[in-house]
Chain A
Amino acid sequence: MSTREIRVYKDLMGANEKWAGATRTLLSDQDVVMLNLIGSPGAGKTSLLEAMTPHLSKQARFAVLEGDIETTRDAERLDRLGVPVSQLLSGGACHLEARLVNQALTDFPLRDLDLVFVENVGNMVCPAEFDIGEKAKIAVLSITEGEDKPLKYPLLFREARAVVLTKTDLLPYLEFDLPACRRNIAQIDASLPVFEVSAMTGEGVPAFADWVINTPQTVL
């Protein structure tokens, strides 16, 4: 029996990286900043976008790419608020890949936009692995998920450029340890800004919206 070894050394993210690079060029040519929102199912990603809309629309022109495994419900919620939104169905995949996002962006009037939000498929693991050509990944963590989640999903918190802690209106009803959560996030990346927001009461929403408008373009 003759056995041969073939050295390959092929980056498994290579094809995805190419599309992400193309998207990055496309967006920077048009001066558009794209943010990739990542969090578990039900973390409050769509609610955060809904809550930010009144505040954001005064200061920037933005659109949303909704990633979902199935159904167009989230897209419909934003459409009702007059936000330009496009639905990406991942067709069963647990994350969005760069090619799909790139194709969806070509349908957007990028010239007339300042910001694009991508709501990734609800999942804290896989979307963190994939560059979709965004300017920054934003980790969305609801306080109902527990303060230990940053330690369990370090890749997401390592890749993210900001964390949004959602559903803070529920703090009185939960045993959520907010300082411990902040410490856990700092363990992974002490320079990460953390925003506490409630989409329900609107608390903290303007502060995050202001960060979105002012920071990614210049600092990140």
Chain B
Amino acid sequence: MHEFSICRDILAAALEEYRALDPAPKRLKAVRVVAGGMHQIIPEYLATAYGILSRDTPAAGSKLDLVIKPVTGRCRECGWEGEIVPPFFQCAACGALAIDLMQGRELYLDRLEVEDHEHERDQGL
């Protein structure tokens, strides 16, 4: 279920950015989202949610690209830095259960891909 609530936020943000584009593009082709591994997003569920929630919006028919960033952390005991595989927040070097997260909590709209009207491109050239 949490893919639906995340997807609602993705769509709202993407549509807000898309509608603010000037000149207005012909259509929205793709939306790229970057999510840290801590969010435990299941890509297929997010894609399903996106397909359903984008219906009857300018995002209908566009593609959602999800880039998942691995979780990384730093050991408070020995200073080791590296990838963490949740739910095991353990230092790979000394075994300490003392990991501060460095990456993995992020969730942001990275970019939009839009298709412009042909004449606009001509004018631009």
Contact surface of A with B, Cβ cutoff 8 Å? 1-13, 93-95, 123, 125-126, 129, 150-152, 154-155, 157-158, 184, 186-191
Measured in the bound complex, the distance between the Cα atoms of B109 and A65 in whole Å is 32
Measured in the bound complex, the distance between the Cα atoms of B112 and A151 in whole Å is 35
Q: Is the interface on chain B under 10, 10 to 19, 20 to 34, or 35 or more residues?
A: 35 or more
Residues of A within 8 A of B5 (CB): 93-95, 126
Contact surface of B with A, Cβ cutoff 8 Å? 1-2, 5-6, 9-10, 13, 17, 21, 25, 29, 33, 38-40, 86-90, 97-98, 101, 107-116, 118, 120-121
B29 near A6 with CB under 8 A, answer: no
Q: Separation in Å of the A97 CB from the closest CB of chain B?
A: 9
Measured in the bound complex, the distance between the Cα atoms of B114 and A2 in whole Å is 8
Give the dominant DSSP class at B's interface: mixed
Q: Separation in Å of the B38 CB from the closest CB of chain A?
A: 5
Residues of A within 8 A of B108 (CB): 9-12
Residue of A nearest to B1 (CB): A94
Residues of B within 8 A of A189 (CB): 89, 97
**Residue from A3, A129, A186 in contact with B97 in the complex, judged by beta carbons closer than 8 Å:** A186
- 4 additional A-B pairs beyond A3-B116, A11-B107, A126-B5, beta carbons within 8 Å, are A12-B33, A126-B2, A129-B39, A152-B87
Residues of A within 8 A of B17 (CB): 6, 8, 10
**Residue from A1, A12, A154, A157 in contact with B109 in the complex, judged by beta carbons closer than 8 Å:** A12
Q: What are some 15 contacts across the A-B interface (CB < 8 A)?
A: A2-B118, A4-B25, A4-B114, A8-B17, A9-B110, A11-B107, A12-B10, A93-B5, A125-B1, A152-B87, A154-B40, A155-B40, A187-B87, A187-B97, A191-B98
